[in-house]
Structures are given as C-alpha cells and as structure tokens.
Structure 1
Amino acid sequence: MATDTDPYALGQSINMLNGRRWVGGLLKANKQYTMPADDWNEIKSDPEKIKEVLQYFITQHYQYQLPRILELERYYKGENDIHFANTNISSSRADNRVTFGFPKFITNTRVGYSVGNPIKFQYNEDDASDDDLKNALDNFNSRNDESYHEKVMKKNLSITGRAYELEYVKEGTNDVAIRPIDPANAFVVYDSSIEQHSLFGVRYYLIEYMNKPKYYAEVYTDDAIYYFNDGETPGTDLVFDHADEHYFFGVPLTEYINNDERMGDWEASLDKIDAIDKAVSEMANSQEDFANAILKIIGNFDISDADGEEPKHPQIDRKNAIMWLQPDVQQNIGDNGNTVIQPDVGYVTKDLNVAEWKVYVDLIRAQIHMDTNTPDTSDENFSSNSSGVAILYKLWGSDQERAIQESLYTRGIMRRLRILGNYLEVTGQIAHAEDVENYQIIYTPNLPKNDQETLQNAQILANLGTESNQTIREIVEKYTGVSPETEQKRVEDENKQEVDNDPMQKVFNRVQTPNPINTIESSKPDQSKPDQDNLSSTILDKIKGLFGGGK
C-alpha cells in the first residue's frame, strides 16, 4: 500500500486483507472539500492569499485522497495488491502472483452499456432563431470528439467514483474545448451552502524533465485562472506565476460523480477481488510445487563397490528414468534380529482438493457479479438464444444503477452546456445563453442487437400509420446506423433525382408551375376560366401531344 509520505512509492509491503485499506480511512480518502463562501470571496482576487488555501487543500489531497485514486487506477490496469503483497512464502516454494481482471471487465461493460451508443442532444424548441445555438453545439461536439470524451469520463467515474472535465479556450481562437482531467490530478472546492456551488477548481500535476521532478498548480475561479509553480512535493513551495481572465462566468472545472458516495463501480468488492486473487495464486503455487515436489527415497541403492567399502549416497539424476533400489536391513537393539525395510520411491506432496477450491472461487465470482450488478456473460444461462426480454431481465439490476448514474451525469453535461452558453453569448455567437436549458440529454443503452425484432417492430408501426416517418427512422437507426435527419435528406435527394430522370414528370411539373408575372392576375375572378376538370384535361392533352400521345 502507498506510504503516507509518497503515494507513488509502492513496493513489496502490502498486507492483503489485513485491516484498513485507505490512508486515513475512507472518510479522509473520499472527502468532498468545502469552505465558507464569504472566506473565499475575501481572498479570491489575491494570489498570495489564494496560495495559502491552495497549499492546505493540495496537501490534504496528496496525502489522503491520492493513494486511494492511484490504487483504484492500478487495479483497473491489472496491478492488483497480490503483486505487491507480503506472502511469507519460503524461497524454496513457488510464489506466483495471478490477478483476475474483474475491475477492467466491470468498467468496460458499464461504459459500453451506458455510452456505447452516442448521447443525443435534443433541442425541444422549434425556433429558427435558435439555429445559431444548435450549429454552435454541433461544431463544439464535433471538434472535441464528444462521443469519445463521454467514454473517457464514464471510465474515470467507474474506476474512481469521480471524473473531472475542463473547459478552456484554445489559444488564439474563440473555440471552446473540453478535456477529461485525471482524478489523481484534480479536485473542486465547494461552498458550505445546501446548493454546494463550486468556489474553485484545482489541477496540479508533475513534470519530470532531466531527472528533475517539479509540480505545477492551476486554480480555476469563476472569472480567472491562477498559475503557480511548486516544488518536488506538491503544496510545499508554491510560487505565483501569472493569471489569465476567462469569460465562462463559472468555474470551468466540472466534477462528475458516479453516485452519492462517490465510489467506483467495483470499489466495494475490492476485498473479494483480493480473495479470489489469493485463491487462484495459491492454486498456481500448489500446481507448480507438485510438479517440482521433493523426491522421497526409502531403501538402499543397488550399487556395487569395487573396494568393498560402504557405498556412498549417489547423486540423483532426475533425467534418469531408472533407479535400482534394494531393501534396507536395520539391526534391532539387542539380539532381536533385523528389520527389513522395503524400498520405496515417491514425492512429498500435499493433497489438493480441487473440487472445494473450485466451489470457493465460483462463490466469490458470483458474489462479485451480484454486488456490482454486472451480468456474468460466461454463464451458460446467459445464452445467445435468450430473447431480448429475457436479457433485459438479466440486466435489470444494472439498469437500476444506470438510471441513477444517468441522472448524475446529465447534471454534469448541463453544467457543461451552461458554461459553454455563457462564453458563446459574451462572444456574440448566440443571443441567449439560457437557451441551452431547452436541451434534453437522451441515452440509448448499448444492448445486444436483435435486428430482426427491430425491423419487425418498425414495420408494425409503419403499417398502423399512427407514427411519423421521423419516429420510424429513429427506431431503425439502431439497424442502419444512419440518423433520421440524414435519412430524410437521402430520401429527398432520391426523390429529386427520380424527377430529374423522368421527362414526363419534368414536363408535368413545368406546365403546372404558375408564371410569377401572372400570379396577381390569376388571383382575380375570371368568368372565362375553365373549371378544374377541363384544366387538368387540357394540361394532359398538351403533355401527350408533346410526346406524340393520343387522346
């Protein structure tokens, strides 16, 4: 486990499943930082006073929160505690360290399920004046690869229980960008009110160049960014460098949380993950020890000695497939004769109860899947032959957590849009920043696809005639991968091309198109104007005459 002085220092020093896991306990390791708003407002424009507050919070984060975050991140990468544990195994025994990939499996499953399909930003007002906002958001999402950004954010949430997103303006432009910030390098401090407004955000990070480590820190307030240089240990030697204004009118560092406890998806199952790692590693050790077991020999080697001396113990050659032994005769005490010990060769091993070991491992695996609400896709009952409804029942537990997490994630996205709207308004790109409130965030779970069932349902709705073409296109989008808007444009283009390629239709359209010059006159009553039936007949006769057709 990480030390109190350097969270990055990790050696063979972990006592697995033995007492408290986090430095300072979970309360300090996952505490949300707050301070009175009045105290902050008094110093928020004074870099030297900001430095004092910054030093306190960075030190707290580095000593107590960073070790937890680093441990969770390395578990996701497969660097479980078993790799660094004090196993107290004899040097003559095998010492395998085998990890189960539960953290990565659970996180990747959750991320793919929740945001594997891109999030939709649906605007709920039909107002042409809002086109500037729609276009601005579309460009913003496209420039920042928003779909991938959401996946990184959700991965951080699943691992550490929190994720951080920084909005900033690219240098020399008015283009707003977003980047996910490693939870190990960031935190937000809130006020002490019931609303918990962001007072400021902090990003601190290490640059190691030419073997000289040095930390830097950035403080994001609601109107400026303060830059500090630091020493080899964060928070120990802060020096103010410079400040830049921003025009987001809010703290541009946003914290997302995975749940109210700010815990990762598998964090509560770390003990079980360690237990299964120990069990599998011990089984691997036992198998290797069995293969390299100590050879036990009872009896005497049948070796003739030319000088008649007592034969010495021969050197054992493990490559020799033949070993000659003879009984060993031991003289009893007194005149009670001799005891003949029959020769025997074998290995010193311990019995392995594989069946009980498997029951134990399977029990822990099942408990991990249940505790994390993650379906066991290797289970035979989770077969590909199950209907969509049956699979949905198996995912019922996951859906309950997904609903909660989507609500919390939507809070973060809406804060992103509000900050973006503030900047777009102040730079004149949109008229009203509050229009972003008209956006609805829509999630589409990435479930196993049943294309046949999707198309059948779409066909049923189309035959009923109760749903719009837009709705039908949204349903089949999962099958075609084409958005309803793109599909609509394709249909319109194809219809236009069919008209262009049909001479009869082109002439009919030309004859029916009114002359703009005669539009006003045609609106007046004309007693000599033929009725509609005669007009249609006249147009039809002209068309047929052009192409040599008869009446």
Structure 2
Amino acid sequence: MAIEDNQMAYYSSLPYPNQRTVHMLSGRRFSLDSNKQYKMPAELFDVIKDDPVKLGELATKFIEKHQALQVPRLLTLYRYYIGDNDIHYWDSEKADNRADNRIASGFAHFITEIKTGYRFGNDIKFQYNDQAETSETDEDNLKDLINEFNSKNDESYHEKIMGKNLSIMGRAYELVYVRENTNEVALRPIDPANAFVVYDSSIEQHSLFGVYYYNVNFNEQDYWYTVIYTDTNIFIYKPTSNFDGQLILSDNQEHSFDAVPLTEYINNDERMGDWEYKLDTIDSIDKSKSEMANSQEDFSNAMLMITGDIDVPKTPWVGADGQPLTDKDGNIIYRKTPEINTRQSKIWLKPALVKNGINDNSQIVQPTASYLTKELNSDGWKLYIDALSMEIHKDTNTPDTSDANFASNASGVAMSYKLWGNDQERSNQESLYTRGLMRRLRLLGNYWQALGSIKNAGMIENINPIYTPNMPKNNTEIMQTVTALVNTGKVSDQTIREQIEPITGVSNDAEQQRIDEQDENDNNNNPFNNVFPRKPDEPQDDNGDDTDNSNHDEVTDNETDEKPSD
C-alpha cells in the first residue's frame, strides 16, 4: 500500500487532519457504512452496463462513498499494521514542561505475520480429483496449464499478500487479466483501499461490476486512474485530477473471462481483520506504556523541594550599568532568594532562623531537601499491561511466543492444543478463501476454453485446493508416526510419501518419479540382466522374480520333516 500516493486518504483515517487530536478510547471508531458491501438491483444495472458514460457516472457515486466512508477505516487498520497507532496523535492535554512520550505497540504486525505465515507459509496444492470422468491427457493438460500459470505469477507469494490484506483489513482483491499483446493470463493483488465490487441484490450475490481506481502523484500533480470491469468488457477512463472527477472513456476492451475478473476475498462474514475488534485493548496498552515512560521521565526531571536556608554567597542586584544596586543609605541590595545552580552536584544547606512576631521568639528550622514526586507502582503497572497482552493473545487465537511455557514442551499434542483455537478460525477462513480460489480457477477455465487450450471449462470443478498449516515440525515424532503406519502393512506407499513430505521437502509425484528413474538406472546398470535371461514361458511371482512354486514347496516340506541326526 502506497500511502504517499493518497495522503488525503491517509489523514482522513484520523478524526482530524492535525496531529495530536485523537481522543483515544472515547467511543465508536468507524461509521456504520465503513464496512458496507455495495449492492444494487441487477435490472437497473443491465440498462446501463454497455453505456460507458452512464456506467462511469454510477461508478463515480460509489467511488465517492468508498473514499469518504470506507477508506478511512482501511487506512486506520493499515496504520496500526505499520506501527503508526493512534497513540501518535493522542490529545493528551499535557503541559509543555511535562513528558509526553508516544509508544506504539506492535501487536497488529505480530498477529498478522503469525496468522499469515501459519495459513499460507506452505504452498497451496491444487489437487485433481482422480474420480472425475476425464481422460488422462485432458487431466495432464489442465494440470500443466495451472502449474505454468502459478509459476509465472509467483502464486505462492501472491497468496501471502492476499492473506496479509485479509488479516489487516478483512478483505482482499485480486485481478485476473491478460498481459498486453499476449494470450498469457496474469494475476495481481489489488489494494483494498483502491478497489471494490458491486453485487446484485439476489440471494446468490453475483458480481455486477468491479472498480479499480488509484492515484499517481507526479510533479506535485495528482492523476486519478479508473478502470471498470464487467462480465464482458473492460472500460478504461482518462486520468482526472480528483477521484470524483468526470470520467471520460479512453479505451473499451472485451475479455473472455465470462465474469467480472476482479474477485473479492473475505476474512470472515463480518469482513473484519484478525485484530480489528481488539483495537481498544491495543490502545490501552499503548497509553499505559506511554504513561509509564512519562512518569519515569517526569521522575528524572522532578522538582527539588528545599526547606531552610541555602549556604551560598549573597548575590547583589545589578543595575543597567552593571554595578550593584544600593539603598538610600548606600548599602548593597542583595537578592532575597539566592540563585541555585542546578548543574552543581551539591547544595549546602544551613538551619533557618524563623522569628515569631507575636512573642518575639525565634525558632530554628533544620534544613531538608527532597524531590517532589508521586509514587510509581511499577508492579501494578506491569500486572495491568500483562493482563491486557494476555487478553489480546487469547481473543485473537494467537499463541504468545514470549510465554515461558510455550516452547518448553515441544510435543506435537501440546503444540496442537496451543494452536487449537487458531485452527478453528483457520478452518472457517480456508473455506472462505477456497471460494475465491475456485472463482479464480473458473475465470481461468473460461479463458482457456475460449482460447482452445482446454475442451471444457467444467473440468475446473475437479480441482481441490489443499492447505497445509505452517507449524513447527518435530521430525522425530513424524518418523515415529510414519513407522507405525508402515508396520500396519495397510497403508499405501503414496500415503507414506505424503506423510514424510514435511521432512524431505519432496512431493509424492516427484518422489515417485525419482524412484522410477532410480529403478530404471539400476536395471540398466545390472550386468546379470543379460547373462541369465528369463525364458518366455517361465512364470513370475508378484515381485517379478522367477520361481518354481511346486519345487520350492517340496524342498521346504522335506527340510521340515527331516529329523536332526544324533
């Protein structure tokens, strides 16, 4: 996300455009429309879908709402991810001579990185359903097309960016398009602050059109670009100086995706980020840490309180000519309060003689010097911050890696229980993510069918995305499990190879290919293969070995019945 390209939107994420004006923990953060999903009747859209002018006017209305109501929320969440929390703009109302530290915690970044790595740290596998009634040639062709597409578009990294956007802002967008002057399909993640999809009002919520608008600031001038995607066309408009400027068509291109090529992914049904509902707790920690730092600094700069007299040379008042001032009797006038050099490490005190005006008695007051401070309850402060931190980890299902007991027990069962809550959340999010993945694959299938690369786009429905959580591995425990499976004698070699893939890093298909190549090399390099060739009518057992079962059984029986000699 390039904040510098849309500074107006960045500052709109603050309640006011000036610094230190946020009243933290003072109520609702976002408007009710800040996370609204855009819909409209399909029959009204069908009337204007092929008219670039009216379509541009409709899109501009949605852009205005998106920029004014939704972008501030998205930018606020992104600010927290990069450590620019609201504490930096807090209206603390502190005096100028008081410490006013602003310390932002990194919880948002930590939670997003942990969850994104856990969900997408391992590559998603696109497995073809072997039960599908498809020829092996067509199946292999589709697999090759998908593998080539994923390789050229760095699909593995693309999923991580999508996962990060989902974790931060609760939604993510990707665009499928054809590279210029080629028939090659490409994939690109789109910043949620620069895109939205409008759906119909039916229960199916079909995509009517998608809008991608963004700003380029060049030579102190803003250039706003807008592209509208329908299920058949791509409308490209000339850049304007404002996001709500009048859209004038620049180019109109047809596409063969047979659906809107801009896809929206959601993190959950509420379209909320992984830590969005804990923003108040994050702010509480930021305020507590900042106030603790302020108290420490104020303690260092505490006011020195002195009772009694200070034993320092008297300092005369000096006139404009630099000479000491005198009274009418010619006596030098001294300051009543002696000057104190605060840079000195010592101050000499002496008892003070205080006269009692009533009895004309004098009283000697012993001198004292101490700093005027308030007591710091550091233990209570730490307990409060630790409780807030624990609450964040618990409510966001994020393991606390600073917990002394987290890594002390490395067994897989113990680790599974620590990640149990996260796994429940991950299961739901994978289901939602699969919806987006399948929509991507359907777009590709429609295009490849139109291009003649595959016979039937319906083959895409046989693809199953497989997710593998990226969690700490215990190789010893994995090998023990695999050994137990092998000893049962009821598990196939393919399953065994899939189980040990986390250790070897080699997929089942690649491992099978290596085994076949190794067997072929062993057969070619075996000098006895041609010395004792097998006769054409010679039987083979299941392992391909030459046998004579009857003779073998007879010899075995004779050997068994034979008694040992004395």
Give the TM-score, by structure 2 length. 0.87
- SS of residue paired to 2:265: strand
Name the CA shift for 1:339/1:398 in 2 (closer, same or farther; >3 Å): same
Deviates more, 1:29-38 or 1:241-250: 241-250
Q: Distance in 2 between matches of 1:315 and 1:336?
A: 30
Aligned to 2:524: 500
Deviates more, 1:405-414 or 1:476-485: 476-485
Name the CA shift for 1:41/1:146 in 2 (closer, same or farther; >3 Å): same
Aligned to 1:206: 215
Aligned to 1:11: 18
- SS of residue paired to 2:10: coil
Letter in 1 for 2:431: S
Aligned-residue offset at 1:337: 1.0
Asked if the contact 1:304/1:311 (under 8 Å) is kept, the reply is no
Question: C-alpha offsets along residues 259-313 of structure 1, whole Å, 9 cap, x if unaligned?
Answer: 0000001000011111110011000111111111122222222134599865664
Aligned-residue offset at 1:238: 2.1
Aligned-residue offset at 1:7: 3.0
Name the CA shift for 1:415/1:310 in 2 (closer, same or farther; >3 Å): same
- SS of residue paired to 1:482: coil
1:362 to 382, 386, 405: 386
2:404 to 369, 373, 380: 380
Aligned to 1:474: 498
**Mapping for residues 153-232 of structure 1, pairs under 5 Å:** 153-232=162-241
Name the CA shift for 1:392/1:212 in 2 (closer, same or farther; >3 Å): same
Aligned to 2:41: 36
Name the CA shift for 1:506/1:79 in 2 (closer, same or farther; >3 Å): farther
Q: Distance in 2 between matches of 1:310 and 1:325?
A: 19
Give the TM-score, by structure 1 length. 0.89
Name the CA shift for 1:513/1:442 in 2 (closer, same or farther; >3 Å): farther
Instruction: Tell me whether 1:110 sits opposite 2:115 in the alignment.
Output: yes
Asked if the contact 2:268/2:429 (under 8 Å) is kept, the reply is yes
Aligned-residue offset at 1:532: 8.9
Instruction: Tell me whether 1:402 sits opposite 2:426 in the alignment.
Output: yes
Aligned to 1:518: none
Q: Distance in 1 between matches of 2:518 and 2:251?
A: 58
2:54 to 49, 53, 57: 49
Instruction: Tell me whether 1:441 sits opposite 2:448 in the alignment.
Output: no
Aligned-residue offset at 1:65: 0.3
Asked if the contact 2:232/2:260 (under 8 Å) is kept, the reply is yes
Aligned to 1:300: 309
Asked if the contact 2:53/2:247 (under 8 Å) is kept, the reply is no
Q: Distance in 2 between matches of 1:402 and 1:506?
A: 58
Aligned-residue offset at 1:386: 3.9
Aligned to 2:106: 101
Name the CA shift for 1:348/1:41 in 2 (closer, same or farther; >3 Å): same
2:294 to 285, 293, 301: 285
Aligned-residue offset at 1:331: 1.3
Name the CA shift for 1:334/1:379 in 2 (closer, same or farther; >3 Å): same
Asked if the contact 2:314/2:338 (under 8 Å) is kept, the reply is no
Question: C-alpha offsets along residues 430-484 of structure 1, whole Å, 9 cap, x if unaligned?
Answer: 1111101001111111121110010111111122221111110110001111111
Question: C-alpha offsets along residues 107-148 of structure 1, whole Å, 9 cap, x if unaligned?
Answer: 111111111111111101363122111110010111111111
What is the alpha-carbon root mean square deviation over aligned residues? 2.2
- SS of residue paired to 2:502: helix
Name the CA shift for 1:43/1:314 in 2 (closer, same or farther; >3 Å): same
Q: Distance in 2 between matches of 1:295 and 1:262?
A: 55
Question: C-alpha offsets along residues 59-110 of structure 1, whole Å, 9 cap, x if unaligned?
Answer: 0100000000000011000000001111111110111110111111111111
Name the CA shift for 1:180/1:302 in 2 (closer, same or farther; >3 Å): same
Instruction: Give unpaired runs (5+ residues) of structure 1.
Output: 515-521, 523-530, 537-551
Asked if the contact 2:57/2:246 (under 8 Å) is kept, the reply is no
Q: Distance in 1 between matches of 2:474 and 2:209?
A: 47
Q: Distance in 1 between matches of 2:463 and 2:360?
A: 103
Aligned-residue offset at 1:51: 1.3
2:92 to 87, 91, 95: 87
1:322 to 329, 340, 346: 346
Asked if the contact 1:120/1:441 (under 8 Å) is kept, the reply is yes
Q: Distance in 1 between matches of 2:353 and 2:9?
A: 65
Letter in 2 for 1:119: I
Letter in 2 for 1:111: T
Asked if the contact 2:120/2:469 (under 8 Å) is kept, the reply is yes
Name the CA shift for 1:489/1:311 in 2 (closer, same or farther; >3 Å): same
Percentage of matched positions with identical amino acids: 52
Asked if the contact 2:212/2:227 (under 8 Å) is kept, the reply is yes
Q: How many residues align?
A: 512
- SS of residue paired to 1:206: strand
Asked if the contact 1:500/1:506 (under 8 Å) is kept, the reply is no
- SS of residue paired to 1:365: helix
Aligned-residue offset at 1:505: 3.0
Name the CA shift for 1:489/1:316 in 2 (closer, same or farther; >3 Å): farther
Aligned-residue offset at 1:377: 1.7
Aligned to 1:464: 488
